[in-house]
Amino acid sequence: MAEIVPFYGVHPAKEYASRVAALPYDVYSREEAVVAAAKDRLSFLNIDRPETQFDPAQDMYAPEVYRKADEMLHAEIADGIFEQDPEKNYYIYELTMDGRSQTGLVACASIDDYIHNVIRKHENTRADKEEDRVRHVDACSAQTGPIFLAYHRDERIAAVIARTKKAGADV
């Protein structure tokens, strides 16, 4: 069984959350990302796709592009746009599309569990895209985008999520 653990989450401060929210980085072409990121300097797309901060001729995989992502992320943390929770937590997320909702748990999982197939791969991603995200994570010292893992229903987890949602906790 894969081991999951809580972590110190970094997330937008409530007053900035709607401005920071962005679609996933990989739904945009480079040109579309530039246009979308320019709409609001606080859009997370600026950090997730840091090449949007450079001339179109800039190699989007150059070291300075990844350094820019780190610079922007840590500047926004310093400015209070993002805040870090003072204690480790598990988090609940809920996605709704076309009237159907999916609720899940946000936690850290071991890369060793992934490499050794304890966590099974659900898709084959292109090596260049994997390398891009690895370099982004390394540059920012943060996992800046979720990796969705499916798990068999566990009544203990379901009960905690239901109680938390019912209590109206900040989810």
User: What digits encode the pLDDT tens for the residues 5-30?
Assistant: 999 999 999 999 999 999 989 899 99
Separation CA 78–CA 83 (nearest Å):
9
At residue 171, the pLDDT reads 44
**Among 14-18, 64-68, 160-164, where is mean pLDDT lowest?**
160-164
**How large is the average pLDDT for residues 48-52?**
96
Contacts by residues 139-143 (CB-CB < 8 Å, ≥ 24 positions apart) = 139/66, 139/67, 139/69, 139/70, 140/47, 140/66, 140/69, 140/70, 140/73, 141/70, 142/10, 142/73
For 69, other C-beta atoms within 10 Å of its C-beta total 23
Closest CA to 48 of 68, 75, 78, 76: 68
Higher-scoring residue by pLDDT: 118, 86? 86
Q: Band of the pLDDT at 169, cuts 50, 70, 90?
A: low
Radius of gyration of the chain (CA): 17
Query: pLDDT tens for residues 106-160?
Result: 899 888 988 888 887 766 778 888 899 889 999 999 988 877 777 888 899 889 8
134 vs 106: CA distance, rounded Å: 19
Mean pLDDT of 40-62: 96
Euclidean distance between CA atoms 57 and 31, whole angstroms: 12
Q: Bigger pLDDT: 40 or 24? A: 40
Mean pLDDT estimate for the chain: 90
